[in-house]
Amino acid sequence: MPILVIEDEPKTGDYLQRGLTESGFAVRLARNGRDGLALAAEDEIELVVLDVMLPRMDGWQVLEALRANPATAQIPVLFLTARDEVQDRVRGLELGADDYLVKPFAFAELVARIRTLLRRGPVREDALIRIADMEIDVFRRRVRRGAVTIALTAQEFALLHLLAQREGQVLSRSLIASHVWDMNFDSDTNVIDAAVRRLRRKIDDPFEPKLIHTRRGMGYVCEAQPAGIA
Amino acid sequence: MKGRLRHSLALRIGAMFVLVVALAAAGLGTYLYRAFVAEIERRDDIQLLGKLRQVQILLGRPGAAELLHTRPEFFRDTMSGQENSLVRFIGADGAVLADINATGEPYPVPPAAGPAPQREAIASWTSRHGDPGRVVAGSARLDSGPLTVVVARAYGERSAMFARYRVRIAVAATVSALAAALLAALVLRRGLRPLHVVAEHAALVRPGTLAQRLEVAAAPSELRPLIDAFNAMLARLQEGYARLSGFSADLAHEFRTPVTNLIGQSQVMLAQPRTVADYEQLIASNIEEMERLARMIDSMLFLARAGQDEVVLAREPRDALDELRKIADFFESMAEERGLRLTCAGEGTVLADPALLRRALANLLSNAVRHAAAGSTIALHARQGAGTTELSVSNEGAPVAPAHLGHLFERFYRADSARSDAQGSTGLGLSIVRAIMDLHGGTAAVHADGGHIRFTLAFPAR
């Protein structure tokens, strides 16, 4: 089922459509609220990404209309706003939105939020995660590559677990900071880079293939394929 | 009119002035009138008593009884100007011996007050025309025996005179009130002129002329507090305005560097065909610049909102050492890479918004890690005071000149003029720390001792 993007700003709409399509989603793009509502009612829409700063019919009205129509009332809505005032957020969530992102946002962050809302990970809740020759025993907090057991600090383990749970997904630095350290603000990004470098020294440096890859400008991804091919 | 009265000082003072003058004139007039009336009445009463006395004396003369029967008017006419006096003679048995009362005035007969009545014996009555009258009775002896003499008078003319007098007083009071109003207007116009001068000066204040001040020396003493306050306000505005415009200039400057990089490197790249790797390199570099811009915008918005107290605090008591350890944990890898050691010590409970507390500590640590000398130790310490909980971050690094210390919490202030752009610094970290402390009603302070520098956050206990 497709995702519906309602966005009037041409460049934003274009890159959202392109980026989400390339991330494996089917995407419908509406350039205004009315078209968006029509598409939502016609098609089987799985999720709506809604810009609240729309001309004429604004995002709040679209949201209300979506919730008022029984056919669309259950569709998860993620709204995008350039104003991160508290009352804006509260209003959106009160009107029945499920999540929001403040512009500017990292694209990887948007993809991660959409995946969370759709409850389709791939977030692996397994007790044992295997990627290539790496084995993570979540309960015992033990990591092995091949026959070698690797000792990790609690912090390193949490970081590796997060990356491995979302194998193949690019995770932004702010998402990593938020999940591993509960730091919910844009802080010094070098901190995350240093933490990943340290993890890599233990997990990747002595082994092949490399599992943790940098996506420059985006974040980090854990996967068996070498970077650049994916 | 009511609105104008409330809003115009001149009108208000003028109206009060006129009211005061009118009340004073009316009061004075009333007092003088009363005194005048009392005096006239006293004189009339004395005359009335004199008349009685004369009649009594006449009655004692030989042949008085005869005269009383034949020419009673004689008793009335003995006094000049007393033609309208009423006289009655009453015998011991109550019979009226003679009554001089041409118009038949119905005056009462008070009890006889002996041979020499005083003013207290005089009674009042009202004539047929409604004029006030006075009457007094006295005893006398005639050959045939004792008798009572009653002398009465109506004062019609006197009432008319009093009425005229009242009108005059009212006119005088009104005229003086009007004259006062006129004078008040003139005096107030002159008296309030300094206020107009102040207003004219104030009207000339523009963003560019905030350095000017109103003259205090020439102003009347009543206006000096106002002018002082106004000047103090100008000083504060000037300072705030200077900071704000300096801030926007800094902001524009800070934005210029990343934007220049974005434009320049993109144009250079596009000028020639490049490899895919080159393009990727460009885009990644652009993203880094733009992320820095985004962080700056985010920080700016936070500072703007904190400055207007629009940030809602969700304060919770937290274990101070616990919070320090969390932050140390976050920065551990980065510190390790630079050969730095992080230590946490102390104890206490800190009452703060956890997210903001972490943000403040993270900014301090980010700063410390950036400036600490390789191989040194960064010490995080918590101390529970009586009214405050202090969290401090100290590190060893290149000495910071004392001149810089006071400015470290200012936006975009960098002690080392070498830009630390490559490290992603926005130059706003420490000003955000101070804003967070302001929101909590606490303080952020910095102490330096050679290469040892310590930032201390003091959170109030309540």
pLDDT at residue B418 tops 80: no
Q: Give the start-end residues of each E strand in B364-442.
A: 377-384, 388-396
For position A211, what pLDDT does the model report?
A: 92
Tell me whether residues B424 and A185 touch, CB distance under 8 A.
no
- Chain A CB contacts of B367 under 8 Å are none
Last residue of a domain, one of A87, A117, A147: A117
Tell me whether residues B332 and A155 touch, CB distance under 8 A.
yes
pLDDT band at B291 (very low <50, low <70, confident <90, very high): confident
Q: What is the pLDDT of residues B202-234, one digit of tens each?
A: 888 887 787 888 887 777 888 888 888 888 888
User: Residue A79 forms beta bridges with which residues?
Assistant: A50, A100
Report the gap between the CA of A160 and the closest CA in chain B (Å). Answer: 14
Mean of pLDDT values over B296-321: 83
- Chain B CB contacts of A183 under 8 Å are 330, 358, 362
- Residue A227, domain member (yes or no): no
For position A227, what pLDDT does the model report?
A: 46
Contacts of B23 (CB under 8 A, 6+ apart): none
For position B225, what pLDDT does the model report?
A: 87
Mean of pLDDT values over B398-425: 69
Q: Same domain for A85 and A183?
A: no
Rounded-to-integer distance, Cα B253 and Cα B457, Å: 30
User: Exposure pattern of B358-381 as b/e (b: 16+ CB <10 Å)?
Assistant: bbbbbbbbbbbbbbbeeebebbbb
Contact B328, B293 (CB under 8 A): no
Q: Give the start-end residues of each E strand in B173-229.
A: none
The domain total for chain A is 2
pLDDT at residue B308 tops 80: no
- Residue A122, domain member (yes or no): no
- Residue A229, domain member (yes or no): no
Q: Same domain for A190 and A143?
A: yes
Ranges B26-30, B195-199, B343-347: which has the least confidence: B195-199
For position B260, what pLDDT does the model report?
A: 83
Question: Residue A82: closest CA among chain B residues belongs to which residue?
Answer: B298
For position B415, what pLDDT does the model report?
A: 62
Contact A33, A21 (CB under 8 A): no
Contact A5, A101 (CB under 8 A): no
Comparison of pLDDT for A88 and B323, the residue scoring more: B323
Residue with tokens 């390339």: A22
CATH code matching the domain that covers B316-460, chosen among 3.30.2270.10, 3.30.70.270, 3.30.565.10, 3.30.1490.190 = 3.30.565.10
pLDDT at residue B275 tops 80: yes
Contacts of B49 (CB under 8 A, 6+ apart): B117, B118, B119, B122, B136
Tell me whether residues A197 and B295 touch, CB distance under 8 A.
no
Q: Same domain for A53 and A149?
A: no
Contact A108, A175 (CB under 8 A): yes
Is the link from the previous residue into A104 a cis peptide, with omega within 30 of 0? yes
DSSP symbol at B121: G
pLDDT at residue A209 tops 90: no
pLDDT at residue A27 tops 90: yes
CATH code, domain with A52:
3.40.50.2300
pLDDT at residue A94 tops 90: no
Neighbouring C-beta atoms of residue B38, cutoff 10 Å: 10
Report the gap between the CA of B446 and the closest CA in chain A (Å). Answer: 21
Contact A180, A196 (CB under 8 A): no
- Chain A CB contacts of B359 under 8 Å are 185, 187
pLDDT at residue B5 tops 60: no
Last residue of a domain, one of A67, A84, A117: A117
Residue with tokens 């008040």: B184
pLDDT at residue A105 tops 70: yes
Q: Same domain for A14 and A106?
A: yes
End-to-end CA distance of chain B, in Å? 52
- The domain limits of chain B are 2-161, 221-307, 316-460
Rounded-to-integer distance, Cα B326 and Cα B330, Å: 6
- Residue A210, domain member (yes or no): yes
- Chain A CB contacts of B278 under 8 Å are none
- Residue A14, domain member (yes or no): yes
> DSSP of A159-219, one letter per residue?
HHHHHHHTTT--B-HHHHHHHHH---S---THHHHHHHHHHHHHHTTTSSS--EEEETTTE
pLDDT at residue B79 tops 70: no
Q: How far is CA B368 from CA A27, A165, B192, B430, in A?
A: 46, 33, 61, 11
Q: Same domain for A49 and A135?
A: no
Q: Same domain for A26 and A104?
A: yes
Domain region containing A56:
3-117
Report the gap between the CA of B313 and the closest CA in chain A (Å). Answer: 12
Last residue of a domain, one of A89, A117, A145: A117
- Chain A CB contacts of B333 under 8 Å are 155, 191, 194-195, 197-198
Mean of pLDDT values over A126-146: 88
- B72 by DSSP, 3-state: which? coil
Rounded-to-integer distance, Cα A80 and Cα A98, Å: 11
Tell me whether residues B337 and A197 touch, CB distance under 8 A.
yes
Q: What is the CATH number of domain B221-307?
A: 1.10.287
pLDDT at residue B421 tops 50: no
pLDDT at residue B197 tops 90: no
Q: According to DSSP H, which parts of B308-443 are helical?
A: 320-337, 354-371, 402-405, 429-439
Q: Same domain for A8 and A95?
A: yes
Rounded-to-integer distance, Cα B273 and Cα B279, Å: 10
Task: Write out the two tokens for B148.
Answer: 């009572």
For position B420, what pLDDT does the model report?
A: 47
Rounded-to-integer distance, Cα A122 and Cα B229, Å: 66
ipTM exceeding 0.90? Answer: no
Q: What is the pLDDT of residues B248-265, one digit of tens each?
A: 777 787 788 788 888 888
For position B422, what pLDDT does the model report?
A: 44
Q: Same domain for A71 and A168?
A: no
pTM, rounded to two decimals: 0.62
Tell me whether residues A197 and B301 touch, CB distance under 8 A.
no
Question: Residue B295: closest CA among chain A residues belongs to which residue?
Answer: A186
Q: Same domain for A174 and A85?
A: no
Q: What is the pLDDT of residues B351-402, one digit of tens each?
A: 999 989 999 999 999 889 988 998 899 999 999 988 899 999 999 988 888 8
pLDDT band at B81 (very low <50, low <70, confident <90, very high): low
- B110 by DSSP, 3-state: which? coil
Residues of chain A with a CB closer than 8 angstroms to some CB in chain B: 84-86, 104, 106, 155, 177, 181-191, 193-195, 197-198, 216-218
pLDDT band at A229 (very low <50, low <70, confident <90, very high): very low
Ranges A51-60, A118-127, B292-301: which has the least confidence: A118-127
Rounded-to-integer distance, Cα A170 and Cα B431, Å: 33
Report the gap between the CA of B314 and the closest CA in chain A (Å). Answer: 13
Rounded-to-integer distance, Cα B382 and Cα B43, Å: 100
- Chain B CB contacts of A184 under 8 Å are 355
Neighbouring C-beta atoms of residue B403, cutoff 10 Å: 8
For position A230, what pLDDT does the model report?
A: 40
Q: What is the pLDDT of residues B429-441, one digit of tens each?
A: 888 999 999 999 9
Contact B198, B212 (CB under 8 A): no
Q: What is the dihedral of CA A202, A181, A184, B252, to 10 degrees?
A: -50
- Residue A33, domain member (yes or no): yes
- Residue A58, domain member (yes or no): yes
Neighbouring C-beta atoms of residue A216, cutoff 10 Å: 14
Rounded-to-integer distance, Cα A208 and Cα A226, Å: 10
Rounded-to-integer distance, Cα A175 and Cα B186, Å: 76
Q: Same domain for A25 and A74?
A: yes
For position B347, what pLDDT does the model report?
A: 92
> DSSP of B339-355, one letter per residue?
T-EEEEEE--EEEE-HH
Facing residue for A216 by CB, picked from B284, B326, B359: B284
pLDDT at residue B90 tops 80: yes
- Chain A CB contacts of B334 under 8 Å are 188, 190-191, 193-195
What is the phi/psi pair of residue B267, to 5°?
A: -65, -45
